[in-house]
Amino acid sequence: MAETPTPRTLSVTTEIVASVLRIEVAPGDRVHAGQTLLVLESMKMEMPIDSPADGEVIRVAVAVGDVVQEGDELAELRL
């Protein structure tokens, strides 16, 4: 009997302390590598967080206005 492959997931995290300024995707959206998922703001600078791979957004773990810490999960993708 053939095994069904298990879909891989990828957690997108932040490397800085910042505020969530905009969220540009929603669960169920198909995204491409390099596509902006959300935008963070730190020290009056906007930093887009781009998808590291093609996939589907499973969940967005933050909301606009949230303050995130280094290593916090921002979104989860199914590859």
Task: Name 7's Cβ contacts closer than 8 Å, sequence gap at least 6.
Answer: 78, 79
Q: Is it the case that residue 75 has pLDDT exceeding 90? A: yes
Give per-residue pLDDT as tens, 42-65: 999 999 999 999 999 999 999 999
From 40, 4, 6, 43, select the one nearest 22 (Cα to Cα).
40
Which residue ranges make up each domain of the chain?
18-78
Q: Which CATH architecture has domain 18-78?
A: Beta Barrel (2.40)
From 29, 38, 24, 5, select the one nearest 77 (Cα to Cα).
29
Mean pLDDT for 31-35 is 98
Residue 4 has what pLDDT? 62
Residue 16's Cα: distance from chain center in Å? 14
Contact in structure between 22 and 39 (CB atoms under 8 Å):
yes
As a whole number, the mean pLDDT across the chain is: 94
